[in-house]
C-alpha cells in the first residue's frame, strides 16, 4: 500500500508499525498539520463487531478529548469519531495479508 501511495502521489511515505500508545497518539496529532496526511490501517472487528482490515485517512485529532476523526471512505461506515485507545487497539493487530503488525502511513503533503 505504501509503495502504491508513494507512486501515485509522488510524495514520500513513512510506514510506522509496532507503535506504543504514546507514539500512536503523536502520529494522530500530526493529522492536524496541513503539511501531513495520516492513514491508519486497522481491523474493523474490534470497533464495529464485524469486518476485516481497512485503510482510512485520519481527518483530525482532538487532544483534549483524546478522540480521532476517521474519514472512512466506505459508504456503509462513513466518517466516524473514536477514542484514541480503541483505534490504537484496532490497529495494533496483525494484517492477514502481510503477516505484520498494522500501523500508520505518514505522507508529506507539501
Cβ neighbors of 78 (< 8 A, separation 6 or more) are 72
And the C-alpha cell for 100? 505484520
In this structure, the number of other CB atoms found within 10 A of the CB of residue 98 comes to: 12
And the C-alpha cell for 19? 507503535
Residue 109 pLDDT: 81
| Concatenated DSSP letters of 33-81 | STTEEEEEEEESHHHHSS--EEEEEEEEEETTTTEEEE----TTT-SEE
Name 103's bridge partners: 17
Domains of the chain, by residue range, sit at 2-108
Which CATH number does the domain 2-108 belong to among 3.40.50.2300, 3.90.70.30, 2.60.120.10, 2.115.10.20?
A: 3.90.70.30
Given a contact cutoff of 8 angstroms between Cβ atoms, the answer to whether 35 and 110 are in contact is yes
Residue 51 pLDDT: 84
Residue 1 pLDDT: 66
Give me the tens of pLDDT residue by residue for the chain, a chain 110 residues long.
677 788 888 888 999 999 999 999 999 999 999 999 999 999 999 999 888 999 999 999 999 999 999 998 888 888 999 999 999 999 999 998 889 999 999 998 87
pTM higher than 0.85 for the full model?
Answer: yes
Cβ neighbors of 51 (< 8 A, separation 6 or more) are 43, 44, 45
In this structure, the number of other CB atoms found within 10 A of the CB of residue 97 comes to: 9
Amino acid at each position: 500500500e505504501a509503495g502504491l501511495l508513494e507512486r501515485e502521489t509522488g510524495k514520500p511515505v513513512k510506514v510506522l508499525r509496532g507503535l506504543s500508545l504514546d507514539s500512536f497518539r503523536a502520529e494522530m496529532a500530526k493529522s492536524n498539520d496541513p503539511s501531513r496526511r495520516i492513514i491508519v490501517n486497522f481491523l474493523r472487528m474490534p470497533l464495529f463487531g464485524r469486518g476485516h482490515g481497512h485503510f482510512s485517512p485520519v481527518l483530525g485529532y482532538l487532544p483534549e478529548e483524546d478522540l480521532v476523526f476517521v474519514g472512512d471512505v466506505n459508504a456503509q461506515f462513513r466518517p466516524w469519531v473514536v477514542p484514541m485507545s480503541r483505534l490504537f487497539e484496532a490497529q495494533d493487530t496483525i494484517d492477514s495479508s502481510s503477516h505484520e503488525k498494522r500501523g500508520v502511513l505518514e505522507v508529506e503533503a507539501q
